[in-house]
Amino acid sequence: MTTALPPSPAGALLLAAPHAAAPHAVLGESTQTMVLISFMVFVGLALLLCVFAGPDRDEVADFYTANRTLTPLQNALALSGDYISAATVLGTTGIVALSGYDGFALAFSTVLALGVLLLLARPMRNAGRYTLGDIFAIRASGGAPRTAAAVATLAVSLPFLVVQLSGAGSATALLLGLTSDGAQQTCTALIGALMVCYTVLGGMRGTSLVQIVKVVLTFGTVVAVAVSVLHHFDWHPGALLDAAARGSGQGDAYLRPGLQLGHTAEGRLNFIGLQLTVVLGAACMPHMIMRVNAAPDGAAARRSTRHAVAMVGLFCLVVAVLGLGAAAMVGDRVIAAVNPNGQGALLLLAGTVEGGTATTAGGVLFTAVACSVFVTVLAVVAGITLTAAATLAHDVHAHAVHRGRLTQKREVRAVRWSVLLFGALGIVLSMAAQGYNVQFLSSLAVAVAASAVLPALVYSLFWERFNRTGLLWSVYGGVLLSVGLQACSPTVSGSPFALFPQSDFAWFPLQTPGLVSVPAAFLLGWAGSLRGARRPAPAGEPSYAAAEARILTGIGSE
C-alpha cells in the first residue's frame, strides 16, 4: 500500500525532497541550458509586462482591483491561474499516478471547490470592495473585524507562501544542476525577490496578466503531454487504465479507494477530512476572494467564476490523464524513488514520452513542463503576496489604525511597503525551511481558510442574527483550532514524513483538522452571535437591512 501525505502546492516540487535522485542523473547539460534560458526569457517578459501594465497613478482601486477593467473572460483566466497551483499540476498528478482512485477523488474535489465559490461569488462581490475585511465590515464596524480579517488572511497566506517558495527554490536549483543548501537558499531568495518586484510594479493588473500568460502556457503544455500519452496508447482509454494499474504495482486495487490513506477507519476519516477541507477551504482562500472582488459587479463575478469552473474542470481531467500516463509509462517505483509523494511524476513522464528513461530526461517538452511549473509558482506567490499586503495596508493600516482617514496616495505607498515586508518575511522563513518537510503547511493553509474564513463569510452574507461577537469567535476560534490541531497531527511529528520525524507528540490522529475545526468554527460563530445579542449593539453598527441591500444589489461596493 502506498501512503502519502496530502499534496502540497509546491512543497516538494519535482526533486526537492530528501529522497530525490541526483539532478545530473535526471537532466542532461543541454536540458539544463534550455531550462535556464527559458527561465530568463520568461522572467524578463514578465517584468516588462508588469512595468507596462502596472498602475499609472497612486489610486487604491487601480492597485487592488485594476479599476475593475478586466473582462469576465480575462478575469476567469486570472482566477483559474490563481487556483491552478503546483498542487494541481504536480501534486494531483503524483497522487493519481501512485494512488489511482484517491487521486481522481482529489481532482474532483478541486473542481467542486470552485463550484462552492460559484455559489458565493455574486453576493461576495456585491458585499465586498477589495479585501476580506471589507466584507466583514458590512456586519460589524470598527477595527476589530478588520483586524480579525487580517489575522485570518495572514494565517492562510504565510504558510502557503512558505511552502511555495521553499519548494520552488529547491526545484529550481536542482533543475539547474545545483545541489548545495546554499544554492537552494539563493534560488529561493531570487524567486522571492522576483515575486516582490512583480507585485510592487504590477499591482492587480500586472499580476493578472502574468496569471493569464501562465494559464495559457501551462494549459498548452499539459495538453501536449496528455496528447502524447494518449497517442502512445492508440487513443484507447481502456488500454491506458490497464497499463496504469499494472505500472502502479497495485493491480485492481489501483481503481478502488484507500491506497493513499489506507483502508482503516482512521484512513477513511482522513480521506473524508481531506476532501472536505479541499472543497471548503480552496473555495475561500483570501487571494481568490480578492480576485472575485476585481470583477466589475456581481453578475460579472459569477460569469467569471462559471468560466473558471469549466477551465479548471478541463484542466483537472487532463491532469488525471497525466497521472495515469505516469503510472503506465514511468511506474510507481521510479516515481516514488524520486519523491514518495509523486511530485516528480509529471516531469518524469515528460522526459519519457520524448524518448527518455528513468535516468535521462530532456527535450523541448520536458523544458516546457519545467518552465510551466516555475511560472505557476511565480504567478501564484505574486497573487498571495498582493492579498497579504492589501490586508496589512487596507484593513490594518488604513482602517484599524487610521480609521479610514488615510489618503489614497499614502495607502498605495503603505501597500507597496507591505509587499516588501511580507515578501521579506516569506523569503526568510522559506530559506530557513530548506531541508525540512513543510508540505503540511499547504494543508494548514487550506484548513484555516475552511475553518476561519468560510464560517464568518457565510454567516456575514446570509444570517441576519450574525454580529461582531460571532464574527470574532468564528475567525479566531477557527484559526486557533486549525493551527493547534495541525500542530498535534502526524504531519508535524510521529511519522517518517513529518516535520519532526524523530519526535512524537501527535495526539490528534488525523492529517488534516478540517473534519473537526470547520463544524466547530460554525458552532463558535453561532454561539458567539447568541451571546453578543444580549448586549446593546455599539453605536454606528451596520444594520442587517443595509447589509442585505448591499449584498443583493452591490450598491456601496464601488
Three-class SS string for 117-149?
HHHHHHHHHHHCCCCHHHHHCCCCCCHHHHHHH
List, in sequence order, the alpha helices (H) in 394-439.
408-432
Q: Which residues partner with 500 through β-bridges?
A: 493
The CA dihedral of 552, 129, 71, 39, to the nearest 10 degrees, is -140
Element (H, E) at 181: helix 181-232
Residue from 343, 374, 344 nearest 359 by CA: 344
pLDDT score for 51:
73
CB 259 within 8 A of CB 332: no
CB 154 within 8 A of CB 475: no
Positive or negative, the CA dihedral 238, 239, 241, 245 is positive
**CA atoms in the 13 A half-sphere facing the CB of 514:** 28
pLDDT score for 539:
63
C-alpha pair distances (Å), 3 with each of 259, 309, 472, 495: 7, 30, 38, 11
What average pLDDT is seen over the chain?
Answer: 85
Strands (E), 317-379: none
pLDDT score for 350:
86
Backbone phi, then psi, for 324, in 5-degree steps? -65, -40
* Longest Cα separation, the chain: 73
Positive or negative, the CA dihedral 222, 224, 228, 230 is positive
Extents of the domains making up the chain: 23-553
Residues 6+ apart with CB under 8 A from 33: none
Query: Exposed, middle or buried by CB within 10 Å (0-12, 13-18, 19+), for 499?
Result: middle
**Reduced DSSP (H G I as helix, E B as strand, rest coil) percent helix, strand, coil of the chain, to 5:** 75, 0, 25
Backbone phi, then psi, for 414, in 5-degree steps? -65, -40
CB 153 within 8 A of CB 388: yes
pLDDT score for 126:
92
C-alpha cell at 519: 463544524
C-alpha cell at 281: 477551504
pLDDT score for 20:
37
Element (H, E) at 244: helix 237-248
CA distance 369 to 396: 40
**CA atoms in the 13 A half-sphere facing the CB of 496:** 7
Region of residue 435 (left: phi > 0; alpha: psi -120 to 50; beta: else): left
**Tens digit of each residue's pLDDT, the chain (558 residues):** 333 333 333 333 333 333 333 333 345 566 667 777 777 777 777 777 777 777 777 788 889 988 888 899 999 999 999 888 877 788 889 899 999 898 899 889 889 999 999 999 999 999 988 999 999 999 988 899 999 999 999 999 999 999 888 878 877 777 777 777 788 888 889 888 988 888 888 888 888 888 898 899 999 999 999 999 999 899 998 999 999 999 888 888 888 888 877 778 888 888 899 899 999 998 899 999 999 999 999 999 999 999 999 999 999 999 999 999 999 999 888 888 877 778 888 888 988 886 654 444 457 788 888 888 888 888 888 899 999 999 999 999 999 998 888 889 999 999 999 999 999 999 999 999 887 888 889 889 999 999 999 999 999 999 999 999 999 999 999 999 999 999 999 989 888 878 888 888 889 999 899 999 999 999 999 999 999 887 776 766 788 888 888 888 888 766
Query: Exposed, middle or buried by CB within 10 Å (0-12, 13-18, 19+), for 507?
Result: exposed
CA distance 323 to 6: 16
What's 26's DSSP letter? Answer: T
C-alpha pair distances (Å), 100 with each of 105, 237, 511: 9, 14, 20
Q: Cell match 482503516: residue?
A: 264
Assign domain 23-553 one CATH number from 1.20.1730.10, 3.30.465.10, 1.20.1740.10, 3.40.50.10470: 1.20.1730.10
pLDDT score for 85:
82
CA distance 453 to 523: 14
Q: Which residues partner with 493 through β-bridges?
A: 500
CA distance 70 to 333: 46
CA distance 145 to 460: 11
pLDDT score for 14:
34
